[in-house]
Structure 1
Amino acid sequence: MSLREYQRKRNFKSTREPKPDAAVPEGSRTLFVVQLHHARRRHFDFRLQVGNALKSWAVPKGPSYNPHTKRLAVEVEDHPVAYADFEGEIEEGYGKGHVDQFDRGVWSTDGDPMAQLKKGHLRFELFGTRLKGGWHLVRSGRKERQQPWFLIKDDDAFASDVEADDLLDTKMRESTRKAAKSESARIAAKKSTARVRKAPAARKLGKTSLIHQAKALPNAKKAAASAEFFAPALTQLRLEPPPGDNWIHEVKWDGYRILATIAKGKVALWSRNALRWDDKVPDILQAVDALGLDSARLDGELIATDSQGRSDFNALQKTLSGEAQHPLVYVLFDLPYFEGYDLARTPLLERKALLERMLGHGRRHLAFSSHTQGDGVEAMQRAMDFKLEGIVSKRIDSGYHSGRGGDWIKVKRLEGDEFAVVGYTPPKGSRNGFGSLLLAKPDPDHRDGWLFAGRVGTGFTDKSLAQTAALVTKNASRKTPPNLRNIDPLLRDAWWVQPSLVVEVNYRGMGNNSLLRQPSLKTLRMDKTPNDLRNADRSPAKKASKPAKKAPTKTARTRSTSNDADTSLVTITHPDRVVFPGDNITKQDVADYYSSIMQWFLPSVLGRPLSIIRCPEGAEKTCFFQKHPVQGLHRVGFVRLKEEKGSQAIYIYAKDANSVMELVQFGTLEFHLWGSMADNPDKADRVVFDLDPAPKVGWKRVVAAARLLRTWLDRIGLASFLRTTGGKGLHVVVPLNPGCPWSQVKDFSHAVASTMASAYPDEFIDTASKVKRSGKIFVDYLRNSRGATSIANYSLRARKGAPVAVPLRWEELAKIERGDAFNIHTLPKRLARLRKDPWEGIDTIEQSLDTALETLHKQQ
């Protein structure tokens, strides 16, 4: 949304209000804020975040909890999201006066908020300290310069006769009294001090009878309440549901496991790995609090639902990261403790019955996970029919036990289809015949074409492996079939065959690149030929009236050949969003790039604290530099590290390929790394010299500088490695094994930079001053301090053309013409030609600064 009107009305040289280009908070829920503004006329500013701006209304009398009271709300200009933090004086100009924060929280709505505003009626919920429950903004029919609306409270459990002035704290009342100059302001000041009331609370449930019922349950035991995290019961994965009537079957909800503890009336929400989620989901916190319980333990799944009522994991991620505003639901399926009674040994059906009675009916944001008893096959079939995630089967008489005890079993939905075999990979280890079969399906756009669909290497018996190998390895060739598209460029060791064999495969959906997820062989279909796959129940191939054009080549549409590089657990949303507008590169192209080069990219980033650059709306719009976790990240690693000022903070790091792809899903383009590992952050194992040329410094001078630095390092016994930055310069990187303290590394790198600047003052400089850098190369040593980062090998850069930082052999330097010589399109072609990484062996070199400095002293 445009903030031009906001900017036009303000002089930012005389106001402390945030500028319109202030950054939007990273990965946070969409927020609302209400500010008490003592301007020329006292009013409340009511603001809702929609996208990257706050839609704003001036409400003269403030919000009312009375559903029969319509409060005038005059629409004003959009404000930047950073305005939610603003308090204090506006000394001059537009809006002059004092601003207090009345309330702040998150908000949600069913459907598209902009579409509702356009129609003139926005229905929404607020989750703040003072304002809670459902509300309406209804546009007035009057046509005025500033559009009037009405702010109306929904008639829900929070409805009452409380007014905004009843909820002012001491600070806000004093501000109102001081600002009472006009008659209307004096009336407001008098009214605001008339009485002090609390924000309405939702109506509580009657729990006396429920406590008696809990006390009477089998094996219920009196026990003290605890506010501490409790380890959840976990499931075991099976291929089929268990038989018999002693099992119940629930929907496998596609969301995040959440545990709730209530002690002395205070609610706490926990993730399954013991992280507090109170601030992430205040809507759920308020819903559980509204139950009015003194003590309990609840177990359930946090979900967002699609239009058909199914749990939608993508919608949940978008809501938690602030990209969308889907209402959240906490689906509860167990109650191991209730109002002073430990129910962990009570049979499951008895616990669930009490839980269902406790929840009652019509509690928004809370739901009961219903079940069926017996006939697990039918329950699974229903899940298949409705395309649900699967089912969870539980013993009806089981207690609640932490961990995987076998009483809870999950069965995921399997899909199956038939594919043509178009090749195979060589066997590894003790396996004979082949490693995996390469599969394809008919290409709907080309009559005789095929689309690569992935590979299958599991599900074979010794007999089927030998039988298949005898059939498929005949007449194999290294030459790729000309009518096969979407091939993984990293399949350099593949053997290809003309389609002749059909196999039936089970799998768990499709991955990011339309490749099979977790495929497993079901059977060989000796009764079918590949031509049988082009039948009526498939999309027929389009008959082209003109010669078919060659399909545009997508950069690396498949995963790495390494098992560790499997990225199928992360779904890329908004794949068609253009990330590099000038080059028409989409978010899917970026995901495909990182997926395709994962076996090269991953070794250098694993286990290192990360700082990333996220560009959710594209490289040419606002980008964020992020090093701490945000809501919605679940596949990255978290580590608590001390910062330079002594405080501690949580940092992120990549655990595996799915960590990388989750960050890409969150809009990450660039990956920057610490020079140390997350498990040993105080010891640097890399020294990075960034040769950064000033404008108009030729590339040949940068190349000469890198060679000069290498020679200097060689003299003191330090091997070095080379990297283009994807920008103008080069990085010279020195590995350290064993590592050295950061203070020593920083002093050493500074000394090297100073030495070069002193020896060649017309060529180099060791200060960052742009005034002094004209015509010189800055030897940037500042990346060698604790917490500083440098670009990762093979990382994209958020710059025009999507350039890439690329490691090189020193022998290649003469062939490179600039620091951004490689990009998203050309790098995979380079990697396809390489036999090994240019930096192979960097982690096995044994060298330290102590030894280097001793050598230096001997030379002097």
Structure 2
Amino acid sequence: MTLQDYRRKRDFRKTREPAPEDSAGTGGRSIFVVQLHHASRRHFDFRLQVGDVLRSWAVPKGPSYDPKVKRLAVEVEDHPVSYATFEGDIDEGYGKGHVDLFDKGVWATRGDAEAQIAKGHLAFELFGERLKGSWHLVRSGRKERQPAWFLIKVDDEYAGDVEADDLMDAKMRESTRRAARTPALRAAAKASTARRKAPPKGRKVSVATLAKQAAALEGARKAKPDAAFFAPQLAKLRESPPQGDAWLHEVKWDGYRILTGVAKGKASLWSRNALPWNERLPEIVQAVERLGFDSLRLDGELIALDAQGRSDFNALQKTLSGEANAPLVYMLFDVPYLEGYDLTRAPLVERKALLERILAHAPAHLSYSAHTVGHGDDVFAMAMEQKLEGIISKRADGPYHPGRGDDWQKIKRLESDEFAVVGYTPAKGSRLAFGSLLLARPDADGGWTYVGRVGTGFTDEMLRDLGKTLAKGGSKKPTVRIDAIDPTLRGALWVPPTAVAEVYYRGIGNKNLLRQPSLKTLRVDKTPKDLRDSDRATPAAKSARKSRPEPAVTAPAGRAEDVVITHPDRVVFPDDGITKQQVVDYYRAVMPWILPPIADRPTSTIRCPGGIGSPCFFQKHVMAGLDHVGTAKLKEETGAQAVYLYPRNEAGLIELVQFGAVEFHPWGSHVASPDIADRVVFDLDPGDDVAWPRVVAAARLVRGLLDQLGLVSFVRTTGGKGLHVVVPLNPGAGWDAVKTFARGFAEAMAAMHPLEFVSTATKRFRNGRIYVDYLRNGRGATAVASYSLRGRPGAPVAVPLRWDELGKVKSGNAFDIHSVPKRLARLRNDPWEGIDTVVQDLASVADKLGD
């Protein structure tokens, strides 16, 4: 069942449900959603994101936590991913009734989800607020008009005598009572209020004994709990493992380093560079909190498991980006703090023994990273035989301290390491795009030293893509130091270090060049600057370090030039032939104008990774791979915490463009004070048959009414059909007050001029009138930024205007990617000059509006 079935069953002129063209990937983990639908027959809609759609089943009685219960699940048409946020009333037509959001989260499965569904048996895990643990969807053998499946709970730690109705909140119960108009619905309403069992809980782990054992460790000290980020201990790269029983040896896991802090029972997950990761890893958060500790710190590596249960870095990247659903495991190897005791001075081997006891009955998503004391050569040989990434050797009695030191050493398989890409050789014969990529390591002088070239391990598709990005342009003059003569470099073209390649190789030759290198992968999660921090210098540079310190990296932080642009030739606006590089160039050109109004504001972006001709989607939460973008942990309308992104400098904004962002939509408040609005935005959205002069007149009328209330306002085109009238607030006001004012103002306009304006979003009321949209003035709501492109043909731009030039503008999309930089070059003053210095608030106008 496809989105065509979804479209065929609905009239989108009448329903509030999202249209199929709104369907797109989320840009993060694959989600699931369960919606309680009070249609003619009450049921639960169970939806799993597979690719760019929500595969959907109607479950009449809702999910059950009892493994003995097989709940009927009728397969229905696919839904767009944007349907995951839909709540409210379906007024008429197909599915008429009220919809409540019952649960939402991420999900995972081993292997290919589509293949399992086609086979008729999908085994998966849910990580939501209400639904957790392992489940099965099994197709029935009966032939029905619509495919029938059974939703079955696995007998795990979450299983129990709990039904979906037991988990409903007061809002859902009230919806059930209101909808109880038929005998069937009355029975459902009665059942939903009869049982109110608590959701199942995981196994309790006694912490008292563990806390006593922690306190008894040598070097343990009392300390206050703190869930904030703590700097990790790092390893130095070595060629062979250290010898003797003073060292223990672990597998080097191929994943992402994650630090965890627990305070008052709540876990906070962080990447090694202090980015919060709770939102991306709800299953790990749940698993850590189920350990039952009040305060704790953990250190480990996040890995993904393939269908055979092996660690797979590519599967990890794809799962975090929403392209796959591999189960994730947190491999833990240290516990620096537990239940009020700082253990960083305790011997490592004792910390690990305590950690092993902690994890003895832990949830499946937490695993202990075992070790071997001594026998380093044997452990390393085993790692090579099993084709693991390598091993980590640690001093058995060592403390835990931040930063890189000799107590931890990493010994990687000799044929795998990471290098900066610094050039390429031209293609020969039938070879596509280029011959090989040139590689370099950082040296002690802050530069780069050539270490060889890699020309194997590429697919044809990679050759074509890299030929348009990395292997393009360049200079014949080397940009790196070359210590050895390499005749194959004749004709090579050199570029600045912009990307990181991980390659296999068979040792280093006597000219310090890699032997038989082959590409493993391009590390999109790393930049050449990361290599300087990982001790990957050439042997000659290592010797030089003994006599002189390594200089600091001098590249300025936060500059747009710090961001590597991949696929610059990708067409973003197909009707106009505008490429990704042109979009980047535009945003760099208008940076002094666009950045100040959105810097440090939570910002939603509209991402179009395949161009505006392919599915585009909103992105407001942080995703894997962002290094320059700011993050803020904010409360959502549901009360849950989520990590929002925001541009904080030039590099952050350009990095978002690199990730496919075309549009920027900031909040009307700052991350430092998200509950205080300093902007009110009235969006004047004309119906299809409203002429532009009427929109201009409407904006002037809004300005006049605001003037009567003592409020100064500013105007901008939206890049679409309408105009924005923006009211700055200084001091600001709470969101409830702002929304009340905006709604009252819009409704007053509609009441005074009913033939001109409407204040409701219902489309059938908007024919021939202008919709005064006040809904952009709620907490979490956004409006397009000044100077932001719009993802529409022609690459239009939202542009601030002086009030006296409004009459000269011909339409809401009168400015575009080509004309705006020229306009800014001609301007003597900012059209919105003074917007940040106006002193006005809502306290003095509330009474006037009421009059």
The residue number in structure 2 matching 1:396 is 396
SS in 2 for 1:200: coil
SS in 1 for 2:267: strand
Instruction: Decide whether aligned partners of structure 1 residues 597 and 41 sit closer, same or farther in structure 2, where only a CA change above 3 A counts.
Output: closer
SS in 1 for 2:233: coil
The residue number in structure 2 matching 1:255 is 255
Query: Is 1:637 aligned to 2:629, yes or no?
Result: yes
Q: Residue 633 of structure 1 contacts residue 662 of structure 1 at CA under 8 Å; is this kept in 2?
A: no
Distance 1:437 1:618 in 2: 27
SS in 2 for 1:210: helix
Provide the identity percentage.
52
Deviation at 1:569, TM superposition (A): 11
Q: Residue 233 of structure 2 contacts residue 400 of structure 2 at CA under 8 Å; is this kept in 1?
A: no
Deviation at 1:346, TM superposition (A): 1.6
SS in 2 for 1:235: strand
Compute the RMSD of aligned alpha carbons.
6.4
Which amino acid counterpart does residue 366 of structure 1 have in structure 2? L
The residue number in structure 1 matching 2:237 is 238
Q: Residue 126 of structure 1 contacts residue 132 of structure 1 at CA under 8 Å; is this kept in 2?
A: yes
| Aligned residue among 421, 438, 456 for 1:454 | 438
Instruction: Decide whether aligned partners of structure 1 residues 247 and 594 sit closer, same or farther in structure 2, where only a CA change above 3 A counts.
Output: farther
Q: Residue 49 of structure 2 contacts residue 81 of structure 2 at CA under 8 Å; is this kept in 1?
A: yes
Deviation at 1:201, TM superposition (A): 0.9
SS in 2 for 1:317: helix
Instruction: Decide whether aligned partners of structure 1 residues 538 and 148 sit closer, same or farther in structure 2, where only a CA change above 3 A counts.
Output: closer
The residue number in structure 2 matching 1:96 is 96
Query: Is 1:59 aligned to 2:51, yes or no?
Result: no
Instruction: Decide whether aligned partners of structure 1 residues 515 and 178 sit closer, same or farther in structure 2, where only a CA change above 3 A counts.
Output: closer
The residue number in structure 1 matching 2:301 is 301
- The answer for unaligned runs of 5 or more in structure 1 is 418-435, 469-484, 504-510, 540-557, 643-647, 680-726, 728-740, 744-770, 772-785, 804-818, 823-837, 843-848, 851-860
Larger CA deviation: 297-306 vs 68-77: 297-306
Q: Residue 249 of structure 1 contacts residue 371 of structure 1 at CA under 8 Å; is this kept in 2?
A: yes
SS in 2 for 1:286: helix
The residue number in structure 1 matching 2:608 is 615
Deviation at 1:347, TM superposition (A): 0.7
The residue number in structure 2 matching 1:9 is 9
Which residues in structure 2 correspond to 1:277-676 (within 5 Å)? 277-306=277-306, 311-360=311-360, 363-376=363-376, 379-380=379-380, 383=383, 388-404=388-404, 406-411=406-411, 415=415, 445=429, 451-454=435-438, 456=440, 488-493=472-477, 501=487, 614-624=607-617, 630-638=622-630, 652-653=646-647, 663=656, 666-668=659-661
Which amino acid counterpart does residue 409 of structure 1 have in structure 2? Q
Larger CA deviation: 174-183 vs 145-154: 174-183
Instruction: Decide whether aligned partners of structure 1 residues 603 and 129 sit closer, same or farther in structure 2, where only a CA change above 3 A counts.
Output: closer
Q: Residue 264 of structure 1 contacts residue 294 of structure 1 at CA under 8 Å; is this kept in 2?
A: yes
Q: Residue 498 of structure 2 contacts residue 528 of structure 2 at CA under 8 Å; is this kept in 1?
A: no
Deviation at 1:349, TM superposition (A): 0.6
Q: Residue 460 of structure 1 contacts residue 521 of structure 1 at CA under 8 Å; is this kept in 2?
A: no
The residue number in structure 1 matching 2:210 is 210
SS in 1 for 2:54: strand
**Per-residue Cα deviation, 1:699-729 (whole angstroms, up to 9, x for no partner):** xxxxxxxxxxxxxxxxxxxxxxxxxxxx9xx
The residue number in structure 2 matching 1:84 is 84
TM-score between the two structures when normalised by the length of structure 1: 0.60
Deviation at 1:199, TM superposition (A): 0.8
Which residues in structure 2 correspond to 1:679-828 (within 5 Å)? none
Which amino acid counterpart does residue 225 of structure 2 have in structure 1? S
Which amino acid counterpart does residue 490 of structure 1 have in structure 2? G
Deviation at 1:328, TM superposition (A): 1.4
Q: Residue 110 of structure 2 contacts residue 305 of structure 2 at CA under 8 Å; is this kept in 1?
A: no
Distance 2:98 2:729 in 1: 47
Distance 2:379 2:76 in 1: 53
**Per-residue Cα deviation, 1:114-140 (whole angstroms, up to 9, x for no partner):** 221111111111112221111111111
Q: Residue 105 of structure 1 contacts residue 126 of structure 1 at CA under 8 Å; is this kept in 2?
A: yes
Distance 2:414 2:592 in 1: 32
The residue number in structure 2 matching 1:175 is 175
Which amino acid counterpart does residue 130 of structure 1 have in structure 2? R
Distance 1:569 1:37 in 2: 46
Larger CA deviation: 343-352 vs 631-640: 631-640
Which amino acid counterpart does residue 631 of structure 1 have in structure 2? M
Distance 1:438 1:33 in 2: 45
Distance 1:178 1:330 in 2: 45
Distance 2:588 2:87 in 1: 50
SS in 1 for 2:22: coil
Distance 1:284 1:348 in 2: 24
- Higher radius of gyration, 1 or 2: 1
Q: Residue 287 of structure 2 contacts residue 362 of structure 2 at CA under 8 Å; is this kept in 1?
A: no
Deviation at 1:563, TM superposition (A): 8.2
Distance 2:310 2:661 in 1: 29
Instruction: Decide whether aligned partners of structure 1 residues 16 and 398 sit closer, same or farther in structure 2, where only a CA change above 3 A counts.
Output: same
Distance 2:308 2:50 in 1: 25
**Per-residue Cα deviation, 1:525-581 (whole angstroms, up to 9, x for no partner):** 59x9xxxx9x9x999xxxxxxxxxxxxxxxxxx999x98999999898x99999788
Distance 2:280 2:339 in 1: 26
Distance 1:211 1:345 in 2: 16
Q: How many residues are aligned here?
A: 657
Which amino acid counterpart does residue 454 of structure 1 have in structure 2? L
Distance 1:243 1:414 in 2: 16
Q: Residue 260 of structure 2 contacts residue 269 of structure 2 at CA under 8 Å; is this kept in 1?
A: yes
Deviation at 1:3, TM superposition (A): 2.2
The residue number in structure 1 matching 2:107 is 107
Which amino acid counterpart does residue 628 of structure 2 have in structure 1? V
Instruction: Decide whether aligned partners of structure 1 residues 619 and 788 sit closer, same or farther in structure 2, where only a CA change above 3 A counts.
Output: closer
Instruction: Decide whether aligned partners of structure 1 residues 603 and 264 sit closer, same or farther in structure 2, where only a CA change above 3 A counts.
Output: closer
Deviation at 1:202, TM superposition (A): 1.6
Which amino acid counterpart does residue 244 of structure 1 have in structure 2? Q
Which amino acid counterpart does residue 32 of structure 1 have in structure 2? F
Deviation at 1:177, TM superposition (A): 3.2
Q: Residue 392 of structure 2 contacts residue 408 of structure 2 at CA under 8 Å; is this kept in 1?
A: yes
**Per-residue Cα deviation, 1:723-755 (whole angstroms, up to 9, x for no partner):** xxxx9xxxxxxxxxxxxx999xxxxxxxxxxxx
Instruction: Decide whether aligned partners of structure 1 residues 248 and 799 sit closer, same or farther in structure 2, where only a CA change above 3 A counts.
Output: farther
**Per-residue Cα deviation, 1:302-337 (whole angstroms, up to 9, x for no partner):** 222345655444433332333322221111111122
Distance 1:495 1:226 in 2: 49
Which amino acid counterpart does residue 491 of structure 1 have in structure 2? S
Distance 2:232 2:68 in 1: 47
SS in 1 for 2:134: strand
Q: Residue 26 of structure 1 contacts residue 630 of structure 1 at CA under 8 Å; is this kept in 2?
A: no
Deviation at 1:652, TM superposition (A): 4.4
Q: Residue 442 of structure 1 contacts residue 449 of structure 1 at CA under 8 Å; is this kept in 2?
A: yes
**Per-residue Cα deviation, 1:228-261 (whole angstroms, up to 9, x for no partner):** 3151332143343562332223333343332223
Q: Residue 439 of structure 1 contacts residue 456 of structure 1 at CA under 8 Å; is this kept in 2?
A: no
Deviation at 1:299, TM superposition (A): 1.6
Distance 1:306 1:201 in 2: 28
